[in-house]
Amino acid sequence: MAQHDRLAGCLLILFGALVLWRASGFPSMAGLAYGPGLFPSIAAIGLIGCGAIIALGARRPASRDTSRSESTTGTSRRRANARMASLLGVVLGYALLLEPLGFHVASLLLVVAAARIFGLPWGRCLLLAVPLVVAVHALFYSLLHVPLPWGVLTPVAW
């Protein structure tokens, strides 16, 4: 697995600085020099320090050639990354659509899309998704009484 230590270190420094900047604006307790900002600041300083060590200690790019000679070729790696990115996209879509569309429709779409990404044929996707959504409905809605949103199906809700 190729590791991007320099990038990771820089990101940590950047993020730590951002947190530190936000935390410096927090009010302090009456009569004391510290307050709600103290703890986030400690975490932020820690992140900056670790980021610096990670970025400075990053291996020279020369050693990366050996790690790249794994069985994965260029195209299959691109495809693997695409699978992962599209799965993230599917979860993002679920977060956006769950409440407007309702649990049943959104979950059906989620399972079909995820199964497609993992390479299941269309027909079997539906064969998997329909009973699964019914089972989850029974478990969470009927048994545990979780108020799952009905969304567009609200007229037929029970």
Partner 1 sequence: MLVETLANLFTPEHLAVIAACTLYGTVVGAMPGLTATMAVALLVPFTYFMDPLMAISAIVATTSTAIFAGDIPGALMRIPGTPASAAYVEDAHRLSRAGRARSTLCVSLFAAAIGGLVGVAMLALIAPQLARVAMQFSSYETFWLACLGLSCAVMTSNADVAKSFASLFLGLFIASIGIDVAVGYPRFTFGNFELYDGISFIPAIIGLFALSEILRSARSGETGTRVTADQEPLPAALREALATLRRYKRNVARSSVLGTLIGALPGAGADIAAWICYAVSRRFSRQPERYGQGHVEGIVDGGSANNAAIGGAWTPALVFGIPGDSVTAIAIGILLLNGLTPGPRIFTDSPELVHTLYGAFALTNLIMIPAGLLVILVASWLLRIPRRVLMPIVLLFSLVGAYAITNSAIAIWIVLALGALGYAMEANGFPLAPAILGIVLGGIVEDNFMTSMLKAQGDLLAFFERPWAAALGTLTLLVWALLLWRAARDALRRRSPAS
Among 44, 101, 104, 150, binds partner 1 (CB under 8 A): 44
CA 71, 76, 82, 83 torsion-angle sign: negative
- Does the footprint of partner 1 cover residue 27 (CB under 8 A)? yes
Measured from the CB atom, the residue of 128 and 155 that comes closer to partner 1 is 128
Task: Find out whether 87 and 97 touch, Cβ atoms under 8 Å.
Answer: no
CA distance 104 to 79: 30
Question: Distance between CA 4 and CA 108 in Å, rounded?
Answer: 37
How many of the chain's residues bind partner 1 (CB under 8 A)? 70
Pick the binder of partner 1 from 94, 105, 126, 130 (CB under 8 A): 94
- The answer to whether 78 contacts partner 1 (rule: CB under 8 A) is no
Residue 21 in contact with partner 1, rule: CB under 8 A: no
Please name the amino acid found at residue 99. Answer: E
Rounded to 5°, angle at Cα 58 from 61 and 60: 25
∠ CA 122-127-132, nearest 5°, is: 120
- d(CA 83, CA 77) in angstroms, rounded, equals 10
Which of 54, 102, 104, 150 is close enough to bind partner 1 by CB under 8 A?
54
Q: CA 82: distance to chain centroid?
A: 15
122 binds partner 1 (CB under 8 A): no
Q: Which residues of this protein are in contact with partner 1, per CB under 8 A?
A: 1, 3-5, 8, 12, 16, 19, 22-23, 26-27, 29, 32-37, 39-40, 42-44, 46-47, 49-51, 53-54, 56-60, 80-81, 83-84, 87-88, 91-92, 94-96, 98-99, 103, 107, 110-111, 114-115, 117-120, 124, 128-129, 132-133, 136, 140, 144, 146-148
